Amino acid sequence: MAEANARDADQFEIGGDLTVNRLGFGAMRITGKGIWGEPADVAEAKRTLALVPELGIDLIDTADSYGPFVSEDLIAEVLAPYKGLTIATKGGLTRHGPDIWKPVGRPEYLRQCVLMSLRRLGVERIDLWQLHRVDPLVPAEDQFGEIAAMQKEGLIRHAGLSEVSVSDITMAEGYFPVATVQNRYNLVDRKSEDVLDYCEKHRIGFIPWAPLAAGSLAKPGSVLSKIAERLGTGPGQVALAWVLKRSPVMLPIPGTGHSAHLRENVEGASLTLSDEDFKALDAQGREEANKAA
């Protein structure tokens, strides 16, 4: 049996001209506990990164705050000069310890984020740079204006946003074309349905983080587990296949620091759900989401 490949998930053009396979890789988990410091098994993290392009994944999502800096450094060490790969990174969050994330959106800091990511990744231009969070203490127009300036200078090819509302997107579009939006989204977390619908309407890439989460739907006897058993795969692969089928602009980035888990995730790209299975999962997922609301 042929090994699963991310190319099975079809493609999407970020910004209308940057083609990627729709299943990407999230590089947050190649760091230590609390997304702080080096991973417990550096060698395995490197093996996982090296396997990413072999499995057809050509979109890697990272951030300067992962580690901090550890994720970008490892990506550069293992994968530079990135032939055939799109390395997307983010800036705008500072780190003061494990699991501590503080937004800083001052224009001079955002520029520093971009310049330092360029240096760490060893590139002259970042293909996709995303504002990790809109800082509520800094005028949004100052943050968006600085991103637009860096794009005009050629430091950034395409720009995106993370954890934003539709109104945030429309405001940012007054300064630069929003190429991607990265919000939490999965079977049981539907708070960004309106954002996803907006992105689909305007051909903006939607990058869901935590795409494998399924809550109680992953329990034995659930609709999800029954479908997985019938298809001879795992609940995580089915949850990922559902996310991919949900919208053609969906670019999920399941992350891991283990090569075996990476192979399992890629199996979700090769899995085709029937319309009946998709609808059954959608209904159960919405029910679970409503319970949590």
Cβ neighbours for 1, distance < 8 A, ≥ 6 positions apart: none
Q: Is 109 annotated in the active site?
A: no
Q: How many CB atoms lie within 10 A of CB 15?
A: 18
| Residue 13 amino acid letter | E
Looking at beta carbons, which pairs linking 221-229 to residues 24 or more positions away fall under 8 Å?
A: 222/284, 223/280, 223/281, 223/284, 224/187, 224/281, 224/284, 227/273, 227/277, 227/280, 227/281
Asked if residue 62 lies in contact with residue 289, where contact means CB atoms within 8 angstroms, the answer is no
State the DSSP code for 193: H
Buried b (16+ CB within 10 A) or exposed e, 142-166: ebbbbbbbbbeeebbbbbbbbbbbe
Q: How far apart are CA 165 and CA 45, in angstroms?
A: 33
Active-site residue identified among 66, 175, 185, 198: 66
- CA angle 90/79/84 to nearest 5° reads 85
Q: How far apart are CA 187 and CA 13, in angstroms?
A: 24
Q: How many CB atoms lie within 10 A of CB 113?
A: 24
Residue numbers annotated as active site: 66
